[in-house]
Amino acid sequence: MIELNWGKPLAFDTAQSGTSYTISTIEQAQYWLEEKWPTADLPRDAGVLRDKALCAVEDAMACLIPVEEARIAFSKAAQHAGFCNLRLASR
């Protein structure tokens, strides 16, 4: 499987542990949205944004929408899920 670069990596910190993570491919974004996303104690709108971001990522992987739209959706969902210090990562 080939991982697709989705532009400059996004970095963010988890609110609880302060651990920093970097998302550099669209497949990593999809994995985070499906497997690593916090689901407990989130407001309903945060779950809706996660679902929209996952749809956007999958649509971008299928070349149905621009990758930038998926990045924006992922960023919005991350902010509403409690991830902090969202930024462009240095390579």
* More confident position, 7 or 73: 73
pTM: 0.86
pLDDT 10s digits, 2-45: 677 788 999 998 877 778 999 999 999 999 999 988 776 667 77
pLDDT category of residue 73 using cuts at 50, 70 and 90: very high
Residues near 85 by Cβ (< 8 Å), separated by ≥ 6?
A: 11, 12, 13, 20
Q: Cβ(71)–Cβ(10) under 8 Å? A: yes
